[in-house]
């Protein structure tokens, strides 16, 4: 029977068991967060299923527990790094930091990482760059999964890639895809569940189409869009493998193999939006694109048009309340890890319904003295509601950053009328902000303010990627 557990408990378990394998605490928590975030986004193929794989590679020495990259060449805007067989998540996280810093200095940056490992979901990292004011593209290569077009032996990896950009009040828009009909992890997840895979996903070792995930794992994953998927995957191996100086083609070793040097390569390209456009204008143009797209008449059977990255955010909001469900085979693997490390398995998720906003703890409130508080005659101001999850261990730093942002908003922005921060009584890392502004122009002035940029940089460090949801609405009245 599947097991449903709270996301925070699952993260704590993954971090503790990873740390028990000699990984430094901060790196262990990062690895754990990437796995749990994938679960929350509705992608268990890149979630806890992979924890046993990563730990097995650390145990064998194929992956080093302490990630210690070396700079190969540094040309300012272009940086080449040797990962020295460290954790892919840790190396890519550092690549984002380097990439954003250099994009701010040069307008655009490229960070190449060689001799790395599988990093999980690419969107986890491109979101971080987008939240700091960049448009980011991240490419990686992978062990062979598909045959070249017309071939019958796998030589080309799924070689996934992601692009992310700030979407204004709609949050980050992000694409994260493999170049095959499906990510290989989804086939492994189907095997764990004991379920068939859809037709068109894979073929067996003889090239015969199959819906059996076990035969598909040993066989071929079919490219997306026929020959186009093969060509795209080939070229991303050029970027992530050949160009970076890492392994490529059939020499890349996947994370599900406990031994063997991975040799995975990554290429991260960051464009600082300020180097090409006014950030406020860019966000307004992004909002226009998103709203035009979402206003498209829906086809029969479609409830709503969604933009890239939106399904994951909605799923995360739901699963933070319902809990993450782990299938039996994955749970059994986690139980073996628990026994080996003496770390307790996560307890079942609480069935307590979500706490309504009136039962949350208020952290602080800022209000201008001339704010209207009566039902009648209140201007129809703009209300911004932000819900987010803070990275465990960063609560105090986060609160300091948000208080500084709120104080500056009130001292520098006459159009900012109200700023309220509350947190759940049951989860003191889940926060909701309520902000009220005179009009749309006041909202845009807030987003263009220098202290808002400082806040966004802090949020990139303290907020769980993918957890932030912004809602903009018109305030009709207020009782006080």
- The residue ranking higher by pLDDT, 7 or 411, is 7
Confidence of residue 355 (pLDDT cuts 50, 70, 90): very low
So what's the pLDDT on residue 2? 86
Which residue would you say has higher pLDDT here, 364 or 153? Answer: 153
Give dist(CA 393, CA 12) in Å, integer: 11
pLDDT in tens, 321-344: 899 999 999 999 999 999 999 999
Per-residue pLDDT band for 428 (boundaries 50, 70, 90) equals: low
Lowest mean pLDDT among 85-94, 295-304, 334-343, 397-406: 397-406
How many residues would you count in the chain?
Answer: 480
Which of 285, 260, 223 is closest to 60 using CA atoms? 260
- Residue 4 pLDDT > 70: yes
Q: Please give the DSSP secondary-structure letter assigned to residue 266.
A: E
Query: Region 358-386: what's the mean pLDDT?
Result: 47
Task: Choose between 28 and 365: higher pLDDT.
Answer: 28
pLDDT category of residue 472 using cuts at 50, 70 and 90? low
Residue, of 289 and 459, whose pLDDT is higher: 289
Give the separation between CA 350 and CA 370, rounded to whole angstroms: 43
Residue 380 pLDDT: 52
The yes-or-no verdict on residue 470 having pLDDT over 80 is no
Give residue 405's pLDDT. 81
Q: Which two tokens stand for residue 53?
A: 């794989």
Mean pLDDT over residues 207-230, rounded? 91
pLDDT band at 375 (very low <50, low <70, confident <90, very high): very low
Percent of the chain at pLDDT above 90? 64
The average pLDDT across 357-372 equals 41
Question: Looking at residues 105-109, what average pLDDT do you find?
Answer: 98
Entry pTM: 0.75
Contacts of 343 (CB under 8 A, 6+ apart): 13, 16, 17, 20, 337
Structure tokens at 212: 């059996």
What's the CA gap between 18 and 62, in Å, rounded?
15
Pick from 240, 258, 259: which is nearest to 249 by CA?
A: 240
**Nearest Cα to Cα of residue 33 among 389, 401, 428, 325:** 389
């Amino acid at each position: 029977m599947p097991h449903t557990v709270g996301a925070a408990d699952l993260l704590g378990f993954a971090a503790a068991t990873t740390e028990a394998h000699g990984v430094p605490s901060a790196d262990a928590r990062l690895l754990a967060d990437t796995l749990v975030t994938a679960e929350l986004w509705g992608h268990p193929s890149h979630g806890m299923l992979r924890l046993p794989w990563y730990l097995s590679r650390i145990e064998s020495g194929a992956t080093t527990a302490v990630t210690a990259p070396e700079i190969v060449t540094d040309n300012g805007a272009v940086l080449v790094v040797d990962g020295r067989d460290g954790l892919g998540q840790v190396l890519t996280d550092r690549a984002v930091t380097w990439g954003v810093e250099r994009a701010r200095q040069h307008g655009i940056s490229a960070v190449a990482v060689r001799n790395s490992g599988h990093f999980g979901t690419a969107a986890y990292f491109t979101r971080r760059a987008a939240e700091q004011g960049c448009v980011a593209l991240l490419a990686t290569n992978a062990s062979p999964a598909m045959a070249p077009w017309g071939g019958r032996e796998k030589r080309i990896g799924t070689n996934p890639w992601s692009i992310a950009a700030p979407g204004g009040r709609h949050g980050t828009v992000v694409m994260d895809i493999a170049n095959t009909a499906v990510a290989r992890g989804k086939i492994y997840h189907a095997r764990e569940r004991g379920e068939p895979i859809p037709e068109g996903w894979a073929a067996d070792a003889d090239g015969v189409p199959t819906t059996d995930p076990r035969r598909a794992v040993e066989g071929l994953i079919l490219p997306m869009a026929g020959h186009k998927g093969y060509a795209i995957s080939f070229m991303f191996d050029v970027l992530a493998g050949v160009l970076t100086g890492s392994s490529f083609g059939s020499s890349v070793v996947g994370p599900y193999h406990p031994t063997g040097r991975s040799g995975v390569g990554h290429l991260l390209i960051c464009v600082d939006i300020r180097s090409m456009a006014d950030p406020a204008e860019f966000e307004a143009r992004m909002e226009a694109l998103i709203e035009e797209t979402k206003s498209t008449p829906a086809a029969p059977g479609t409830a709503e048009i969604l933009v890239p990255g939106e399904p994951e955010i909605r799923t995360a909001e739901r699963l933070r309340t319902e809990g993450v469900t782990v299938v039996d085979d994955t749970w059994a693997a986690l139980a073996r890890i628990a026994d080996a490390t003496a770390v307790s398995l996560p307890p079942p998720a609480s069935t307590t319904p979500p706490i309504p906003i009136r039962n949350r703890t208020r952290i602080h409130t800022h209000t201008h003295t001339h704010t209207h508080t009566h039902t009648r005659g209140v201007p129809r101001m703009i209300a911004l509601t932000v819900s987010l999850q803070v990275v465990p261990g960063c609560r105090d730093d986060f609160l300091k950053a948000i208080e500084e942002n709120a104080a500056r908003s009130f001292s520098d922005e006459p159009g900012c009328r109200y700023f309220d921060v509350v947190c759940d009584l049951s989860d003191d890392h889940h926060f909701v902000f309520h902000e009220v502004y005179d009009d749309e122009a006041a909202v845009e002035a807030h987003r263009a303010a220098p202290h808002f940029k400082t806040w966004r940089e802090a949020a990139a460090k303290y907020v769980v990627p993918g957890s932030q949801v912004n809602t903009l609405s018109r305030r009709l009245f207020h009782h006080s």
